[in-house]
Amino acid sequence: MIDRYTNKKTSEIWSEQNKFKSWLKVEIAVVKAWNQFGKISDKDTKLIEQNAKFNIDRIYQIEQETHHDVIAFTRAVSESLGPEKKWIHYGLTSTDVVDTGQAIRLKQINLIIEDDLSQILQTLARYSRKYKNIISVGRTHGIHAEPTSIGLKFLRWYSEMERNQERFESIRKRIEVGKISGAVGTFANVPMEIEEYVCSELGLSFQEISTQILPRDLHAEYLSVLSLICSTIEEIATEIRHLSRTEVGEFREGFAKGQKGSSAMPHKRNPIGSENVSGLARVVRGQMITAFEDINLWHERDISHSSAERVILPDSTEITDYILTRMDHILNNLVIDEDRIRQNLEMTHGLVFSQQVLLSLIDAGWSREEAYDTVQPITMEIWQSGNDFVDALLENKEIVKSLGLRKIQSLFDYKRQLRNVDKIFARVLGNDYE
């Protein structure tokens, strides 16, 4: 991923230095495992643990000759050792090291994403409480529908992100796995106990069955979860963008002193942060498709997945981390214009209460069809004239006769529309809601 959309911690995890470091961890763990089962002496094990190292430039130099990165790595490591070097890569195939090393790095980056998710959940919960009672117009199909609250928007995003967090915790158990099962997964040259020891030593689980590689449905599921996380962020970003439009003006991204919105138009204050994460979320979803394509490999393994994963795993994880932290920053600097929210709520002159009128007429004995066909023409006239809906209802003798003046006026009550908000909060937040 380009530096513009990468945080330092994640870029370090996917660096070449850390890749070879994770490979070396696997190789040393295997040596220690063989030692536990009496194959390698304590002396040789200690020498390997103390002295095994690598030089990246040397690895690249050897690879120019071998055209095989793992062989280049093992030879470079062997150059740092004496006769004990014969135990490096003993009984292994390349992907025992590559896939298990990759699992180490995924675990490292998963800890960062886990923290990101916890942070944005805290932010969403805080905003949902803060704006719980700020009444706004709800929109369906982009058109004013019925009253809702700004807090409910944040609560809905919180609930969705909490589900993402649960999915992420679940997939971590399946993606943070290693394999030391040999060339076709049969443990022909390495006992199963070695795999169990190595994975435990590295803080990983072991995959119960593998071929030369770990099953790639695991990685496809992992990318699916990352895509869901990023899609939720994009959903939040899209709402911010819509509510930031000049004619709406309810939300506005923070605008730093000296910040510029347009090279041509000095007045512009664009929601560039939200637009930025919207675009990056699309990249992750696109990479998810590649992960699904990687499931379909030949027999016990081909290498067609390898080149793709060198791109999609670093990029998708780095983007996920980036847009989670970027959105948290956007939210913490978000400007919410309560006056404009109120103006927009009242823009349709009470039409947001049309269903209350419809249901009250039905309760008064009207058929649904009769009530609907009476109320709808009145609402259509309000769209054209801009008059108040309540006044138009009071001019209709049949409606007044059925409902009465006080009943009609009582229907136009925002608080009544939102009387269940606390119950919704309690459902979502449970014991955390006070």
And the tokens for 274?
A: 């939200």
**H or E element at residue 21:** helix 16-36
> Is-contact 5 318, C-beta < 8 A?
yes
Closest-CA residue to 202 (of 112, 102, 52, 111): 102
How many residues does the structure list for the chain? 434
Gap between the Cα atoms of 290 and 309, Å rounded:
9
Residue 377 makes CB contacts below 8 A (sequence gap 6+) with: none
> Which residues, 6 or more positions from 69, have their beta carbon under 8 angstroms from its beta carbon?
59, 63
Measure Cα distances from 360 to 145, 214, 217 in Å: 18, 62, 54
Q: Is 242 a catalytic residue?
A: no
Sign, CA torsion 277/281/283/287: positive
| Catalytic residue (choose from 262, 304, 307, 410) | 262
Instruction: Work out whether the CA dihedral 117, 174, 205, 210 comes out positive or negative.
Output: negative
Q: Does residue 245 contact residue 310 with C-beta atoms inside 8 Å? A: no
Considering only CA atoms, which of 198, 345, 216, 233 is closest in space to residue 291?
216
- To the query of whether residue 262 is one of the catalytic residues in this protein, the response is yes
Q: Which residues contact 368 (CB under 8 A, 6 or more apart)?
A: 358, 362
Catalytic residue, chosen from 67, 141, 267, 299, is 141
Q: Which residues are catalytic?
A: 141, 262
